[in-house]
Structure 1
């Protein structure tokens, strides 16, 4: 894997300055490339920091590691440059994170070519804990290097465990860019069929893509060496600035966590009752207008009619237009500092890959300022 470079070139695109400034200075001067909406927290709004994460170790189905490749092959990055006017920095090819996964010990050295070659036993029931920890730590640094410059950080995954890295990197960057500001914590809008807030103890599967929010909020911590011990206060987010949209498959333990911590969550029931416009008004009002927003979008938030090629599809989800509207509303707020799109799996429902990729491209474009008119 290429080394992380704070300046110069890395994986194909150039890096810029550190982007440190004040909110007040940006609110009146900065505009995204395709819109007149002032950007409150981006000092370089025409620049996009791209991280392409080929990783599927947070869950048991291979294929999400190929998600970024099919999205870029569909022309997404080219469209962001040519249609939306962004200057891209960071990755233009997918990063392979195998080098950061623990290797077999001597006692396991005689594995066959078809056997797993990683020595990563379960910890507290978590599967692949050292692999996911090592990879997300690297992702955190990569995304931090982009976000600290004052450009929007775009990450294409990969399963949703990678958000441990993306969100933590952005949280750290925002704290550093706005030192001393009481509102220098990011808000996270988590669009997903699932809450992904299990602790290792409440998870039935042990798959870490169902746990990232518990690590990011500090509801789960780890002192095991090499197992998320790199996460510090600067990487964490507050539950008071966390908003879920599109939930419809929530584990019993997660429901208790959401209730006990009074976390703002809009299920599909709320969207059916109030409509997506009202839900987004309420979500943004809850976050407040003086808080940077990280949008983390799992494509399984969409109904399988629109995005069938994903690992954990659940019927009764968002329409593509509702998904696009969520992204448009976040973009229109002028508060968006980072976007994740995850869980596109081209190995599943082969006939639906094209639909899923088209949906993913549409979501990203809308989150980055594309409009119907």
Structure 2
């Protein structure tokens, strides 16, 4: 690890998708004593609440579509402010730990970390690729677009994002790996193929096993070598887990990661010693409320595994 201080950055935002409740995820994770859990692992847990959420939420109440994009102004502003907070945290030598909220936050976390670690690689663990552009998104929900905006793909430099997105982009497609995909839109398939982005779907996990998949993913982001020194940003959507493991999330898809597979990914990435940032997103305590506590506990456990807890100790 680059630091033993984790900065817990709340992102209580649901504007990237239509279901309310995911904005309650950060508070639910914190109320589950996540800071104490990290302190027991030897981390100092700082809390950042510097984003003006009243301003963002006021904007969200009157945010008409731009073409097909829903809530574009509030998503853009929230992402821009998050990028600044993540950058500030990383420059201070802390590990930014972003608690979502929906996965539209990925644009801000990717860009913020890239400003400090120009060679950082992102490992995106998710049922969905979240790489639609403004031109390909079938729904207009921006939690399905954060990767394309961070990469600066064609169709991402749209209002109001182009006022702050880096051009040329900081992030590079060859420093991105997906793990756990099983629900990918047609436009996303074309993007993934066109840019030769490395993807390990659930099919690959079934074929090779989670250990081999993670090894291949880490080899890829380290230029095809067994070195493990490239900085890593882990962006983990709880819907990567099978709904039997993490049911309280907005877009569950059957056939996902088992409890052990999800935790193995986090443990193996921790073992590289190169984690510089993490997102944990899409915990929605209002969905499947009888199982919300289970999903919250799994979210906390995935974070602990990324920051050093081993289930085998």
Which category describes the TM-score, using the shorter chain as reference length?
Answer: over 0.9
Residue 363 of structure 1 is aligned with which of 267, 280, 302? 302
In 2 relative to 1, CA 51–281 (structure 1 residues): closer, same or farther, beyond 3 Å?
Answer: same
Contact (CA 8 Å) 1:171, 1:234: kept in 2 or not? no
Q: Distance in 2 between matches of 1:156 and 1:95?
A: 13
d(CA) in 1 for partners of 2:242, 2:139: 23
Aligned CA RMSD, in angstroms, stands at 1.6
Q: Answer whether contact 1:159 1:209 (CA < 8 A) is retained.
A: yes
Q: Which residue of 1 aligns with 2:24?
A: 66
Instruction: Kindly indicate whether residue 66 of structure 2 is the aligned counterpart of residue 123 of structure 1.
Output: yes
Deviation string, structure 1 residues 216-255 (Cα, Å, up to 9, x no partner)? 111143252x334211148631000100000000001101
In structure 2, C-alpha distance between the alignment counterparts of 1:356 and 1:310, rounded to whole Å: 8
Aligned ranges 1:99-138 → 2 under 5 Å = 99-101=55-57, 103=59, 118-138=61-81
Q: Give the corresponding residue for 2:221.
A: 287
Structure 1, unaligned runs of 5 or more: 1-38, 104-116, 175-183
User: Residue in 1 aligned with 2:186?
Assistant: 252
Equivalent residue in structure 2 for 1:170, among 113, 119, 129: 113
| Counterpart position of 2:120 | 186
1:1-373 → structure 2 map (5 Å cutoff): 39=1, 42=2, 45-81=3-39, 83-91=40-48, 97-101=53-57, 103=59, 118-174=61-117, 184-219=118-153, 220-224=155-159, 226-233=160-167, 236-288=170-222, 289-371=228-310, 372-373=312-313
Instruction: String of CA shifts for 1:25-73, please: whole Å, max 9, x gaps.
Output: xxxxxxxxxxxxxx4xx2xx21112201111110000111000111111
TM-score (ref. length: structure 2): 0.94
Partner Cα distance (2:300, 2:52) in 1: 22
SS at match of 1:338: strand
Q: Distance in 1 between matches of 2:145 and 2:177?
A: 16
Secondary structure of the corresponding residue to residue 38 of structure 2: helix
CA distance in 2, matches of 1:353, 1:347: 7
Q: Is the partner of 2:287 in helix, strand or coil?
A: coil
The answer on whether the counterparts of 2:152 and 2:168 sit within 8 Å (CA) in structure 1 is no
Q: 1:272 to 1:300 in 2, by over 3 A?
A: same
Task: Find the residue that maps to 1:265 and give its secondary structure.
Answer: strand
CA distance in structure 2 between the aligned counterparts of 1:287 and 1:368, rounded to whole angstroms: 20
Kindly name which structure, 1 or 2, has the bigger radius of gyration based on alpha carbons.
Answer: 1
